[in-house]
Structure 1
């Protein structure tokens, strides 16, 4: 049962956040709450050491502190900050967190370039009838939840919980 939660909850939440951000330019708070709550339940059920859980919580707190500053400077949206922090708890304070953040940064840069390109081509896209979410073309922000999801998908196999789960499989 714990293995199923480890394999399914994190990717499913990220996918839902990405689609929500793409179509509504918002990430529901419940996704971040589910990620945090599920991590705590999984960590306790998988008998992670208290010190290890502390490192995971420290990772989330550190990412949240940086994201809070970016949010206060109006550089990052609140939903993105909460999702990135809630995702960071699944990686812990180790190399897998650095990999996750690197993947998110690269995906975010590419996403930003793509969205800016699409916005410059708005007239052509609309004239051709290409199905692109209208908010993607008209909003003044980037749906960074997509980049967080892509970074999470890329880095998740190297996360401590996933590695421990894979090591226990026959």
Structure 2
């Protein structure tokens, strides 16, 4: 029961990150921090061995390095880099690879959807104020936290932590 609860915490925090990114184009540091700091508690309740726990930490650290490398040239936001690391920490090896692949697919779908919506928005006759400072604004960034959360939720049912929580 406790293992299932900690997975609900993970799901809630990922959905919250997606919602915050969609509304404000930011993922707060506190949210990524809670996600990362709640993992050791989850690992305890899920019964991860020290070796598995260390492997999860290594995966999270490598994901943070990759996120920082993508942030440096401005390809992703800083919140996205931290969120991908915190989520990868939860998935560990090799589930983190599946998470990253699915998040990339969802990011592509998000980009195509935003392009189509932004091109169609002027034809809808919506008031101009609805198309500024929103997802429909021309030139607005893509809130990649949505894709990261979708990739995480898509990966979760087939992941090792999900199987451990079901026991």
1:137 to 2:162 alignment: no
Over 6 Å off, 4+ runs? none
Q: What's the offset of the Cα at 1:4?
A: 3.6
Using the size of structure 1 for normalisation, the TM-score is 0.88
Partner Cα separation in structure 1 for residue 145 and residue 131 of structure 2: 17
Partner Cα separation in structure 1 for residue 36 and residue 12 of structure 2: 14
Q: What's the offset of the Cα at 1:162?
A: 1.1
Alignment partner, residue 46 of structure 1: 46
Structure 1 pair 133–60 and aligned structure 2 pair: CA distance change class (3 A) = farther
Alignment partner, residue 82 of structure 2: 82
Partner Cα separation in structure 1 for residue 142 and residue 160 of structure 2: 30
Q: Give the conservation status (yes or no) of the 8 Å contact 1:26–1:79.
A: yes
SS of 1:135's equivalent in the other structure is coil
Gaps of 5+ in 2: none
Q: What is the count of residue pairs matched by the alignment?
A: 164
Partner Cα separation in structure 2 for residue 147 and residue 112 of structure 1: 9
Partner Cα separation in structure 2 for residue 3 and residue 164 of structure 1: 7
1:110 to 2:99 alignment: no
Alignment partner, residue 55 of structure 2: 55
Partner Cα separation in structure 2 for residue 42 and residue 133 of structure 1: 41
Q: What's the offset of the Cα at 1:152?
A: 0.5
Backbone CA RMSD of aligned residues = 1.8
